[in-house]
Structure 1
């Protein structure tokens, strides 16, 4: 297969300048900008995120349309809540887990991932995610990362 990775993803925004300021809080670097579009490097030269100022931002949220997940190291994920809070970014309640119970562990059997969620100024869902186990058959329920670490020591 010739595919090497995912190069770009796109999200609708209502105010490009306001969104640029938000995504800069995530330490993302602008790669390209024009009147109604900005691209931020996720991994320079490998992947970027496009923000489009458009009325399509009125499309009701659904994870298939207005969601992006960004991979981070597990060590960084464990302490990310404090960093987000310092930057004025509130953690979202997801899957019934309030902010204080995140990061959470997603049982995508045979994979397991730890993740935390928040929203950009337009309500687009941003997920920070770290793989825990790949191709490992184990049935379990969704839990907090803290519970996962106690369980898997």
Structure 2
């Protein structure tokens, strides 16, 4: 019955600034009202709503001010440069500074590559790519470079 996640929402302080930021991520605007804009994540399948509101001052917690957007695993190798070209700084997460990202999340039994940055209001944005699902080997968090070295002969 459930086919996927259709929408997620984030609070923002200035809709115009946020529109410019999310356009840098190559997202297409789908709908706009006075204090709300939706951007397509996957046109016709999922979108992100940005609300101009004073709720933007709610302290950050990943359960309320975090969105993870899926990208292809092949794009993860060049994602940091793609963000830098757009003037978007990678943020430190899980003790991994920007120069050590993308990182590999040991969501055992799964493995995901991820990189993190913040929008103009400090909302956490994650770009994530599944690498292995139902992976039996336990491992610790590492850089993408370490993962590729460790798994270079594994398909």
**TM band (smaller chain):** over 0.9
Question: 1:57-116 CA deviation, whole Å, 9 max, x = no partner?
Answer: 000000001000000011111101111111110000000101110000000001110000
Q: Which residue of 2 aligns with 1:110?
A: 109
User: How far does residue 137 in structure 1 lie from its aligned partner after superposition?
Assistant: 1.5
Q: TM-score, normalised by structure 1?
A: 0.98
Q: Which residue of 1 aligns with 2:69?
A: 70
| CA distance, structure 1, for counterparts of residue 83 and residue 104 of structure 2 | 19
Q: Which residue of 2 aligns with 1:27?
A: 26
Listed as ranges, the gaps of 5+ residues in structure 1 are none
Listed as ranges, the gaps of 5+ residues in structure 2 are none
Q: Secondary structure at the match of 1:117?
A: strand
Q: Which residue of 2 aligns with 1:5?
A: 4
The residue correspondences of 1:53-92 to structure 2 (distance < 5 A) are 53-92=52-91
Q: Which residue of 1 aligns with 2:141?
A: 142
Q: Secondary structure at the match of 2:31?
A: strand
Q: Which residue of 1 aligns with 2:16?
A: 17
User: How far does residue 8 in structure 1 lie from its aligned partner after superposition?
Assistant: 0.2
User: How far does residue 22 in structure 1 lie from its aligned partner after superposition?
Assistant: 0.0
Kindly report the root-mean-square deviation, in angstroms, between the aligned alpha carbons of the 2 structures. Answer: 0.5
When the two structures are aligned, how many residues end up with a matched partner?
Answer: 152
| CA distance, structure 2, for counterparts of residue 141 and residue 96 of structure 1 | 13
Q: Secondary structure at the match of 2:20?
A: helix
Which range is displaced more, 7-16 or 133-142? Answer: 133-142
Query: Would you say 1:133 and 2:128 are equivalent positions?
Result: no
Could you list the runs of 4 or more consecutive aligned residues of structure 1 that deviate by over 3 angstroms after TM superposition?
A: none
| CA distance, structure 1, for counterparts of residue 117 and residue 135 of structure 2 | 28
Q: TM-score, normalised by structure 2?
A: 0.97
